[in-house]
Chains A and B, each alone.
Chain A
Amino acid sequence: MESGKRQKLFGSLFVNGTLLLLVFLWTIPTLGIFVSSFRNRDDIANSGWWSVLPHREWQAVKEIIPSEAGLDPDGVMEVEGVTGTFDELREGIETADGKRVTWIGNKRIGKVEVQEQVWAVTWNFTLDNYQQVLGGQDFEFTRPDGTVEVKPGDNMIGAFLNSLAVAVPSTVIPILIAAFGAYAFAWMNFPGRRAFFIGVVALLVVPLQIALVPILRDYKALELNGTFLAIWLAHTGFGLALATYLLYNYISSLPRDILESAFIDGASHFTVFTRLILPLSVPALASFAIFQFLWVWNDYLVALIFLGGNPEFELVTQRMAAIVGARGQDWHLLTAGAFVSMVLPLAVFFGLQRYFVRGLLAGSVKG
C-alpha cells in the first residue's frame, strides 16, 4: 500500500514536472517579446529582457580618472590592488574581496570604475515603443546624451484597419456563399450534385500556390490588383472548399423532421434556410468563422501577391515583414509591432476558444 502511494506521488511529480517544463519552453518566446515591447530602446539593445528579473549586476562604487591617478594605458597599471594591461582592465579584473576593477571607454578619455556586485532589476518600462509603432507621424525621442533624433513612425494603426477591412469580409463572404451551397448539397436535388461535391472534396487539399499566377493574370486584366476586392475574392476562393465541406457535414446532420414540417407548412427553401438552418448552424458557422478569420489575419503570402506594392493598403503582416527587412535590429519596434499584430487574434482565440477547438475537431484543416 505504502509503495503504491509513493509510486503515485512520484508519477504525479513526473507528470506535472514535465508539463511545467514544456509549458515553460512554449511560453518563454512569447513572454520575451511581450516584456521587451515595454522596455526602452537602450535597455533592449544592451541587456537581455530577462534582466527585468532580479539578477546580480556590477554597479560602480568608485570612479577613478586615469590621468589624475597617474595611470599609463599603454603599460601595465596598478589600481585598487590589482594590476593589468589596458586590455585586461577592459575585460575587468576581480579583486580579492569580490569587487571588480574595469576600464570603461577608450584609452584616451576612459575612466576606471571599481564595481560591486548587487542584486538589481531593470524596470524602466515605457509605452514609447507602442506609440512609435502605432503612429503614422514622425516620432521624436531624446537620446541619453541629450540629442534629439527623429524617426518616422510605423503607422501600425493604418495597417491594423486595413487588416480588419480585409479580414472581416474575407471571413463573412465565403461563409455566406458556402452556407447556401452546403444547404443545396444537403437538402436539394439537382443534376451533378454528387459530382460537384466530389469536386469540393478533391479541392480541399489543393495548394493555393497553384492558383496564384493565373489569378494574378486575371486581376491584371481586370485592373483589380492592389484592391481590397481582389484579396476578399481570393480568400473567398481559397477558403470556400473547406467552408462548404464543413458546413455540409453540419447542415446535413440537422434533424430531418424539423425541415419537413416547415415545408409542409408551405415554407420556401429560402425561408427555411434563413429562418431555420442558419440559426441552427451557429456553432458550425462560428467555428469556421474563427478559423478563417485567424487564417486571413495571419496570412502573408496572399496579401503579398494581391496587395503587394501598394503601401496604402498594407496589412499588419506585410507591415511587420517590412520592418523586419528594413530595420531588423530595432527590437523596440519589432517587439511592440509583433504584439500589436497579435492582439486581435489572441483576443478572438481566448474569447472563443471553445468554438475554435470544436471547429478543429470537425476537421477545419485548410489545404
Chain B
Amino acid sequence: MNLLRDAEDQSQSFFTRILSFLSRILLAIGIPAIAFFVLYQGFLFLRDSDAPRGIIALVAIIWGVGGVAILYWIFNDLVERLPDAWTTRLLPFVFVGPAMAILAWYLAIPTVRTFWLSLFDRNGPPEGLNLLQQLASDAFVGLSNYSFLTDFSQENLMLQAFRNNLMWIVFGSTFSVAFGLVIAVLADRSRMEKVTKSLIFLPMAISFVGASIIWNFIYEFRPAGQPQVGLLNAFVTSLGGTPQAWPQWVAVAPWNNLFLIVIVVWLQAGFAMVLFSAALKGIPEELLEAGRIDGANEFQIFFRIMIPYIQGTLISVWTTIVIFTLKIFDVVWVMTGGQFGTHVIATQFYRQSFTNSNSGFGSAIAIVLLIAVIPVMYYNLKQFREQEAF
C-alpha cells in the first residue's frame, strides 16, 4: 500500500509546504483554465467559419474531446519531469484538480453565490462595490425575497407551486414505485419477462419534451361534435362523456395536475421496475420456498418476505424519484407553461429568474429547492460514513 500512496514527507520545510500548496492550486485551476482558453479559441475560429453544419459539429467534437485529453497528457509530462519528491506532491492534483475545480465552479460556489443573490433585489448586488458596500447599498433587501414562505394568501403563486409540487412528489413517487414494483413482481413470474421489461422501460429513453408531445396528443381536445383525434377524449366521448382539455381543465384544479403527473409515472415506472427486478432476483429461493411450505399465500410472501428484503432498494428508488419530482420542470413548462394552476417550484424559479429577470426572487426559490434536498444529502453522507471503505 505504501508503495502506491506515498506518505507525505513529515520533515518538509515551511517554504516547501507553501510552495506545494500554491502549485497544487495552480494545477487545479490552471489545467481547466488553459483547457478553457484553448477550447474558446477553437470556438472563435468555428464561429467565424462558413463550413457546413455537419463539418462544424464534427470539428467541435474532435476539438473539445481531444483538447481536454491532450492537456492532461502535457501536464502529466511536465510534472513527471520535476524532482521525484515534487512529482509525488503534485501529480495527484493533476489528476484530481480539474474535477475539483470544475465542481467548485459549477456547483459548490454557486450555492453560496445564489444565497448571496437572494439577499438582493431583482438586479442583484450592484457591481463594482466590495461585499460590505454591497450590503450597505439599497439593493440589499435582507430576507424579504423569502417572504413567500410566510405568505398564505390566495394570490401567492408560490404557495400554489408548493402545493402542486407536493402533489407531484406524493403521487408521482408513489405511483411510479407501485407500478414499478407490481410489474417487477409479475414479470419475474412470466415467460414474457424480457419483452415486457423492455417495453415498460422504453419511455426512459424519451425526453420530457418528447413525452409532453406524446401525451399532448392523447389529451388533444376538440369541441363536442367534432371527431376527436385524442385518444382520451375519443374514449370518453364514446362512453357518452364530454370531451375536456385535460391538463387545462381548471374546474377540477388542483387535480388537473394529475394529468401531468401521469407522464412522469409513465417515464419513471420503468426505472423503478429495473431496480426492483434486480433486487427481487437477489432474494434467495429457499427463503420464498420456506414461506410457501409454511403455508403463506402469495400476498403474504409479497408483503412479509419480498418487501422487507428489498427495503433498501425501495428507499433509494423512492428518494430518487422524490428528488426528481421535486425538480420537475420540462413537462410542466412544455405542456401548460405553468398556466391553469399547474406551476411548480422549478417553473416558478425559471419564470422569476429568466422571464421576469428578478434574480433575487429566483435565487431565493433555488435556495428553497436546495434546502429541500438537504435531508437526502445528509442521508447520503451518513451512508457513506457508515461504509467506512474510504
Contacts and interface: CB of A to CB of B under 8 A. Distances in A.
Contacts of A193: 92
Nearest to B7: A189
B381 interface: yes
A127 interface: no
A84 B130 CA distance: 84
Nearest to B52: A161
A332 to B, nearest CB: 11
B152 interface: no
B131 interface: no
B172 interface: no
Chain B residues touching A, range: 35 or more
A85 interface: no
Contacts of A237: 102-103, 105-107
B93 A190 contact: yes
Interface stretch (B134-142, B155-163, B287-295, B358-366): B358-366
B363 A215 contact: no
A342 B69 CA distance: 30
A228 interface: yes
A188 B95 contact: yes
A299 B269 CA distance: 19
Contact of A213 (B203, B316, B329, B359): B359
Contacts of A52: none
B179 A294 contact: no
Contact of A164 (B57, B100, B369): B57
Interface string A196-218: 11111111111111111111011
Contact of B103 (A199, A233, A360): A199
Contacts of B80: 268, 270
Contact of A191 (B8, B216, B275, B376): B8
Contact of A19 (B43, B100, B187, B217): B187
A210 B114 contact: yes
Interface residues of A, number: 124
A39 to B, nearest CB: 10
Interface in B300-318: 316
Interface in B175-209: 179, 182-183, 186-187, 189-192, 195-196, 198-209
B370 interface: yes
Nearest to B104: A199
B contact face: mostly helix, strand, loop, or mixed = helix
Contacts of A285: none
Given A32-B218, A206-B111, A207-B366, A44 B229 contact: yes
B269 to A, nearest CB: 8
A26 interface: yes
A227 interface: yes
Given A240-B106, A270-B80, A317-B207, A331 B220 contact: yes
Contacts of B362: 213
A84 to B, nearest CB: 17
A185 interface: yes
B34 interface: no
B86 interface: no
Nearest to B362: A213
Contacts of A185: 96
A260 B271 CA distance: 39
A36 to B, nearest CB: 7
Interface stretch (A64-72, A95-103, A138-146, A172-180): A172-180
B369 A361 contact: no
B347 to A, nearest CB: 10
B276 to A, nearest CB: 11
A194 B366 CA distance: 28
Contacts of B330: 300-301, 317
A357 B216 contact: no
Given A203-B108, A211-B110, A237-B105, A342 B210 contact: yes
A42 B75 CA distance: 62
Nearest to B117: A213
B76 interface: yes
A197 B390 contact: yes
A300 B227 contact: no
A188 B229 contact: no
A296 B124 CA distance: 30
A361 B108 CA distance: 27
Given A33-B214, A181-B98, A169 B229 contact: no
Given A227-B47, A360-B271, A260 B4 contact: yes
B231 A165 contact: no
A165 B98 contact: no
B381 A177 contact: no
A48 B102 contact: no
A22 B266 CA distance: 11
A29 B215 contact: yes
Given A338-B210, A367-B373, A180 B65 contact: no
Contacts of A178: 99
Q: What 4 A-B pairs come out closest when comparing CB atoms? A: A237-B106, A189-B5, A181-B99, A298-B207
Interface of A: 11-12, 15-16, 18-20, 22-23, 26-30, 32-33, 36, 44-50, 158, 161-162, 164-165, 168-169, 172-173, 176-178, 180-181, 183-185, 187-191, 193-194, 196-215, 217-218, 224, 227-229, 232-234, 236-238, 240-241, 244, 252, 259-260, 263-264, 268-270, 273, 294, 297-301, 305, 316-317, 320-321, 324, 328, 331, 334-335, 337-338, 341-342, 345-346, 348-350, 353, 357, 360-361, 363, 365, 367
21 contacts: A11-B189, A19-B187, A30-B202, A32-B218, A33-B217, A44-B229, A165-B58, A169-B64, A199-B100, A199-B103, A209-B369, A214-B110, A227-B47, A228-B64, A237-B106, A269-B76, A298-B208, A317-B210, A335-B217, A338-B210, A360-B275
Given A294-B205, A353-B198, 18 more contacts: A16-B190, A19-B186, A19-B196, A23-B200, A49-B229, A173-B64, A176-B72, A199-B100, A202-B381, A210-B110, A210-B367, A213-B359, A229-B36, A229-B40, A345-B205, A345-B207, A346-B205, A367-B373
